[in-house]
Structure formats: structure tokens, C-alpha cells
Structure 1
Amino acid sequence: MDKVQRMTREHGVVIFSKSTCCLSYAVSILFQDLGVIPYVCEIDHESDGKEMEMALIRMGVNSSFMFPAVFIGGLLVGSTNEVMSLHLQGSLIKLIKPYISGLKSN
């Protein structure tokens, strides 16, 4: 659990994923389009991936819709549905504003 908490503290936007998760990829691209380069941790490539998965569940990640598990500013936002809902409401930009790199291309 310490590793997961450290990652969410050290990086503004963190996406916990599995390498085969297309929804995680889509959420990552959304953040990039909004000017944020998220830290993506593919737990299936981590030696302690199972422990990380259990830590995410203990932190409140829904085990039925586990990936992507998105954290912004150290706080759990949720999965794809929650991120897209925030985006459609116009609230996502407010959450990620401190992490926008200024390198946004449009």
C-alpha cells in the first residue's frame, strides 16, 4: 500500500492500469489532450502487482471496474465513468489545472 500511496503523492495525475486495458489508454490520451502527462503504472508489469491491486481495493477502487484507477492530487477520482463524467460537467479541468504542463498542442 505504501508504494501506491507514494506514487499518488509524488505525481499529480496517476493512472493505475494493466497493459491490455484500452480504457486506460483512452483516459491517458484524454489527459494528454488536456495538457497533462499522467503517470501511468501498469501493475501487470510490476513485480508486486497483486499487492498493488489489493492496496487499490483497500483505498476504495471498485474491484468490478478496477482499471483505470485514476488519482488526481493524491485523491481517488475513480475509473473511466467518473473521469468522463467530470470532463463532460467541465469539472475535470479544475482538478487538473495545477498539473497542466503548458505544452498543450491544439
Structure 2
Amino acid sequence: MVQENAIIVFARRGCCMSHVAKRLLLGLGVNPAVYEIDEADEISVLEELEMAAHNKNEVQFPALFIGGKLFGGLDTLMAAHISGELVPILKEAGALWL
């Protein structure tokens, strides 16, 4: 699933930080695949994402995968956006065509 989409957001259902991540991407013209996780499924989904990312304890919600690799959470997304690095990363992954 991670390899099949240019950008995926794994988000907690109803989480304000997940909402911010989705709105930022939509505002840039990116239409990410979004998977909302229920609280009951959170631990099993985190374990699967850690295996996909090959990183233990590095995955947090919202978890963004760009170009099939773990990009990070909201803090990483915001830092890349503020520094101007996000748009080139999204273009390279094929998520943005500007």
C-alpha cells in the first residue's frame, strides 16, 4: 500500500494534528491517500507501519509516507514546508505537478 501511492497520510480519526497535515497538503494542490485509524486499531497499524518504514519507534500519527518512504509526522512536514523543501520533495515523488 505504501509503495502504491505518491503520498499517504495515516491519521488518527478526529485528530487535530492529522487535520492540519491533510489541509496543508490539500492547500498545496496535493491529493494524498488518507487512511484514518480508529483508536482500537492504532497499535497494530503502528507496528505494520514501523515494519514498512524499517524504523522502530519512529512512526507517529499523523504518519506521512512520500515516495514509498517514511517522511515523518506533522513536525517534519511543517519544517519542510517552512524551509521551502516540501514542494520539491512532493514533485520528485510525483505527488505535485507544478
TM over 0.5: yes
Matched residues in 2 for 1:69 and 1:28: separation? 11
Question: Size of the alignment, in residue pairs?
Answer: 93
TM-score (norm 1): 0.76
TM-score (norm 2): 0.81
Q: Percent identity?
A: 33
Matched residues in 2 for 1:18 and 1:99: separation? 22
Q: CA RMSD in A?
A: 2.2
Matched residues in 2 for 1:101 and 1:15: separation? 19
Structure 2 segments unaligned to the other structure (5+ residues): none
Q: 1:1-106 alignment to 2 at 5 Å?
A: 7-44=1-38, 50-58=43-51, 59=53, 60=55, 62=58, 66-97=60-91, 98-100=94-96
Matched residues in 2 for 1:72 and 1:55: separation? 17
Q: Equivalent residue of 1:84, what SS?
A: helix
